[in-house]
């Protein structure tokens, strides 16, 4: 993490969404708000916006991590979604393209679709990292 902000900035990346846990869902930096990374090399605030990663598909289903079934996803993330809504924060989903295949990941495509439907029914703004960046950095 010490070199990351400078490398991202030098490569013209405006935002990042990789700061999260592999082994559990949640707020790695204790916040559901995007923030600017700190550049330790320059001892300054970076121009790279971090949009914290909250939930990753692999975290949910991998046997080394949470190892939960598709049927038990909501009960494992419901409290987290309540916190994000309470503070009008950002909940970031990372769903790998392989998780949409029934070849190895039966049911996980449906989990993704169900989550989006739940969030939409709660009037959540379903958007992209680019749109978050543009809203914050106008």
Q: What is the pLDDT of residue 122?
A: 92
17-43 average pLDDT score: 93
**For the chain, what is the domain count?**
1
- Domain hosting residue 36, numbered range: 4-136
Q: What is the pLDDT of residue 81?
A: 95
Residue 47: closest CA among 12, 92, 90, 3: 12
Q: What is the pLDDT of residue 1?
A: 66
> Sorting pLDDT into bands at 50, 70 and 90, what band is 3?
confident
Residue 8 has pLDDT above 80, yes or no: yes
Q: What is the pLDDT of residues 95-129, one digit of tens each?
A: 999 999 999 999 999 999 999 999 999 999 999 99
Model confidence, pTM: 0.90
Residue 39 has pLDDT above 80, yes or no: yes
Those residues with Cβ within 8 angstroms of residue 15's Cβ, 6 or more apart along the chain or in another chain: 34, 48, 49, 50, 51, 129, 130, 132, 133
Q: What is the pLDDT of residues 45-84, one digit of tens each?
A: 999 999 999 999 999 999 999 999 999 999 999 999 999 9
Q: What is the pLDDT of residues 84-95, one digit of tens each?
A: 999 999 999 999
């Amino acid at each position: 993490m010490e070199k990351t902000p400078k490398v991202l900035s030098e490569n013209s990346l405006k935002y990042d969404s990789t700061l999260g846990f592999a082994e559990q869902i949640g707020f790695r930096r204790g916040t559901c708000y995007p923030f600017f990374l700190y550049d330790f090399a320059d001892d300054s605030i970076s121009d790279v916006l971090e949009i914290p990663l909250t939930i990753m598909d692999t975290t949910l289903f991998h046997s080394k991590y949470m190892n939960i079934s598709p049927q038990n996803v909501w009960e494992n993330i419901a409290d987290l979604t309540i916190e994000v809504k309470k503070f009008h924060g950002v909940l970031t989903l990372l769903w790998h393209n392989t998780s949409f295949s029934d070849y190895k990941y039966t049911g996980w495509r449906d989990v993704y679709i169900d989550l989006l439907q739940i969030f939409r029914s709660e009037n959540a703004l379903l958007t992209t990292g680019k749109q978050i960046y543009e809203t914050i950095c106008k």
